[in-house]
Amino acid sequence: MKPVCVRLNKTGTVLVRATAPEQIVRLEGNWYFDPEVVNKEFLRTTDRLYTCPYKGTCNWIDFEDEALYIPDVAWVYPETFPDYKHIAGWYGFYPSTNYYVTRECEN
């Protein structure tokens, strides 16, 4: 497997670099990553919540560094309903947004 990265379009900052299949779950078109492969340096878990009727309640995660702020760049379900335990605590990302893209790493 080639590594999968989440990289900001504007700055090139890598938010995620997953190198093994067990570090990634594809679910409902989105990517979920083991927290061990997520670069949390500029990610802030917020008090803003979203409740999914299937998975449970998640917290939105913002990106913030000295030059850039992106709200709701990712999400995390601290706990899930029983059928989704495999993503509890994992970071969810869309395949792509105006701010980032999820794909094979270029290097």
pTM for the full predicted model:
0.94
Mean pLDDT of 38-46: 97
With a cut of 70, say whether residue 107 has pLDDT above it.
Answer: no
Q: Which position has the token pair 């997953």? A: 18
What distance in Å separates the CA atoms of residue 76 and residue 17, rounded to the nearest whole number?
Answer: 17
Name the pairing type of β-strands 14-18 and 91-93: unpaired
CA Rg value for the chain: 13
Helices (H) and strands (E) in the chain, counts: 0, 9
Query: What average pLDDT is seen over the chain?
Result: 95
Q: What is the pLDDT of residues 68-87, one digit of tens each?
A: 999 999 999 999 999 999 99
What's the confidence (pLDDT) of residue 2? 87
With a cut of 80, say whether residue 47 has pLDDT above it.
Answer: yes
Domain ranges of the chain: 4-104
Give the Å distances, CA to CA, from 102 to 24, 28, 77: 12, 15, 20
Q: Which burial class, exposed, middle or buried, applies to 45 when counting CB atoms under 10 A from its CB (0-12, 13-18, 19+)? A: middle
Span 4-104 CATH architecture? Beta Complex (2.170)
